[in-house]
Chain A
Amino acid sequence: MKRFHVSLLVITAIFMAVTPTFLKNYGIHLFTTWLIYMIAIMGLNLTVGYAGQKSLGHAAFFGIGAYTVAILMKAGISFWIGLPIGALLCFVIGLGLGFPALRVQTIYLAFATLGFNAAVWLVMRNEEWLTGGTYGINNIMRPEFFGMSLDRNLPYYYMVLVITVVLALLLGGLLRSPWGKAFKALRDNPIRAESLGVDTRSYTLLAFAIGSGFAGIAGGLFAAQVGFIDPAPFAVHYSIMMYLMVVVGGPGYFFGPVIGAAVGVILPEWLRFAQAWYLTVFGFAVVALMIWLPDGLLSIPDRIRARRQSKAASAARAASAKRIGEAS
């Protein structure tokens, strides 16, 4: 499985590296946004898909990361310091938000995180002294990378691509480690996991916090990309969209975020002329997906495999129907 993942990662990386050279400025901007959301969704995939937590507040962390970078840069602090600070802040707040997550189960958690998002958004909108209120913060400069200017879209894109690949590798490493199994255990059967010594509380907190940290990094990159931020992209609606992006791609699938972010970012842009209809059709697609492919688009290969296996199994059962006393 792992080798397959690595080669897929390489292929995706090559595609992502080469394609933008053929695109115009706007296309590059779009691809950059795709990568940025990919990072955020990777984090949410960890929280939702691997650790099984129902988080509907991810856009809040996206926003906290963005505003942190924006505010610090306005205060003269370098982007390269602001970005990790934003990520760390999101990590810590994620830990804090994770605590109620422990007391509260399933659907209550969804509402709690949704509420958290609403609260954060209200602060962003109301506290002008800090966030600029509804006017937001503008004139955010692009950072420099070892003296190289990132003002133009293509160089900035490549910087974001490098960060995305690094984060993907780190996440992959984390999931390969014993933590990955602990997350899956906690997702699939928390009671059993506890009885085997898996500290579900700690792992839940960490899944939340790491996922939030990813969103924070994405937010910081977003702020420098668009140069101007206001509370709009961090509203509850976007948390729900992000959750749907995880669901559509496939929760718990490593490459789910690539597909999910594409569906959430690229598709609406292509169909921008029909935005309200896009969302309507998207809604229909989500309902249809739940009925036919509840595990997301990337579950298609697994389903085909499972169906093939069950056909083989019934054939085998019919063939061995006369044999007695087989343990397997």
Chain B
Amino acid sequence: MSVNQATLAVHNLAKSYGAIQAVKGVSFEVQPGEIFGVIGPNGSGKTTLFNAMLGQIQPDRGQIELRGQDVSGLSALALNHRGVGRTFQTLQVFGKMTVRENLIVAAQEHKGTLFSRIFAPSDSGLGDKADALIQKFHIAHVADKPAGELSYGQQKLVDIAMAFMSDPALILLDEPCAGVNPKLVRDIGDLLRDLNKERGSTFVVIEHNMDFIMSLCHRVMVMVEGEILAIGTPDEIRNNKQVLDAYLGS
């Protein structure tokens, strides 16, 4: 057992859909406090990898370790209780609840037991925490509106904020900038950088927006056709000939 244990270690993860090998035996590690980017063309297996890591689908083989503990095959529910949070590629907020309620739900199941929660106050004591995140994400002016009535960009912010409410050690963000205007992309980048410094939490980010990834991440992993093409710092990746040929263009 190493002293600086990787927050996330993936060994030989593979998943096929019939004849198509979406992920072909992928292994990598993410260090504590790192912002780890995952890029690659569509169909490279990024989302399948994510879903397999997050208990959304069962991988064919491979192991996943969270802080040294084997979490392979655990459900999304179990993983969340072990400190894994995520955002989804397709927006998934609770449309009929207010923004504040969305944030409270995102953490209430980590307080107390199922039965103690009947008697807990409505916000489970999370009101202040939710307000803090609301302030940080600059969504105070819509905090009491049903989340379904917000603009797409605002909903994205809520989605991301929700992932942080339960203070997970590891957060996986699936295309946080998809469909979002450039200013908001910059804001999201700033928010993530801040939160990373503040909390020391570890992020894994899938994105297509190159500037975003390169300016935000400590290390980047490039996937092509279900395999890892390269892992390195943004500079290393930008100068990697194979990557340029396969993906970034020369």
Contacts and interface: CB of A to CB of B under 8 A. Distances in A.
A and B touch in the complex (CB under 8 A): yes
A194 B76 contact: yes
B154 interface: yes
Contacts of A306: 149
A193 B76 CA distance: 10
B94 A184 contact: yes
Contacts of B141: 328
A188 interface: yes
A24 interface: no
Interface size class of B (residues with CB under 8 A): 35 or more
Nearest to A184: B97
A291 interface: no
Contacts of B187: 327
A189 interface: yes
A195 B118 contact: no
A202 interface: yes
A192 B109 contact: no
Interface stretch (B25-33, B58-66, B98-106, B238-246): B98-106
Contacts of A194: 75-77, 80
Interface stretch (A175-183, A260-268, A275-283): A175-183
B76 A177 contact: no
Given A181-B101, A182-B109, A327-B187, A192 B92 contact: yes
Contacts of B94: 184-185, 188-189, 192-193
Interface string A299-312: 00000001001000
Given A189-B92, A197-B166, A325 B122 contact: no
A196 interface: yes
Scoring A176, A192, A195, A306 by chain B CB atoms within 10 A of each residue's CB, the highest score goes to A195
Given A176-B122, A327-B153, A328-B142, A195 B76 contact: yes
Contacts of B86: 195
Contacts of B184: 327
Scoring A174, A184, A202 by chain B CB atoms within 10 A of each residue's CB, the highest score goes to A184
B212 interface: no
B41 interface: no
A198 interface: yes
Contacts of A191: 56, 76, 92
A177 B177 CA distance: 34
A191 to B, nearest CB: 7
B138 interface: yes
Nearest to B172: A195
A197 B117 CA distance: 14
Interface string A166-179: 00000000101111
Contacts of A184: 94, 96-97, 105
A328 B184 CA distance: 10
A128 interface: no
Contacts of A181: 97, 101, 104-105, 108
Contact of A196 (B75, B106, B119, B181): B106
B45 to A, nearest CB: 20
A189 B77 CA distance: 14
Given A194-B77, A197-B110, A179 B117 contact: yes
B120 interface: yes
A197 B114 CA distance: 11
Given A176-B122, A196-B80, A328-B142, A182 B54 contact: no
Contacts of B96: 184, 188, 252
A185 B183 CA distance: 31
Contacts of A200: 77
Contacts of A327: 138, 153, 181, 183-184, 187
B124 interface: yes
A199 interface: yes
Contacts of B181: 325, 327
A178 B117 contact: yes
Contact of B124 (A178, A195, A252): A178
A328 B151 contact: yes
17 contacts: A174-B118, A177-B122, A178-B124, A179-B117, A179-B118, A181-B104, A181-B105, A192-B88, A194-B75, A194-B77, A196-B80, A199-B77, A202-B114, A306-B149, A327-B184, A327-B187, A328-B142
Given A178-B108, A193-B94, A195-B86, 15 more contacts: A177-B118, A177-B122, A182-B108, A184-B97, A189-B92, A191-B92, A192-B92, A194-B80, A196-B109, A197-B77, A198-B109, A325-B181, A327-B138, A327-B153, A328-B142
Interface of B: 54, 56, 75-77, 80-81, 85-86, 88, 92-97, 101, 104-110, 114, 117-122, 124, 138, 141-142, 149, 151, 153-154, 162, 166, 181, 183-184, 187
Interface of A: 174, 176-182, 184-185, 188-189, 191-200, 202, 252, 306, 309, 325, 327-328
Q: Which 8 A-B residue pairings sit nearest by Cβ, starting from the closest? A: A197-B109, A197-B80, A192-B92, A178-B117, A195-B76, A178-B108, A194-B77, A188-B94
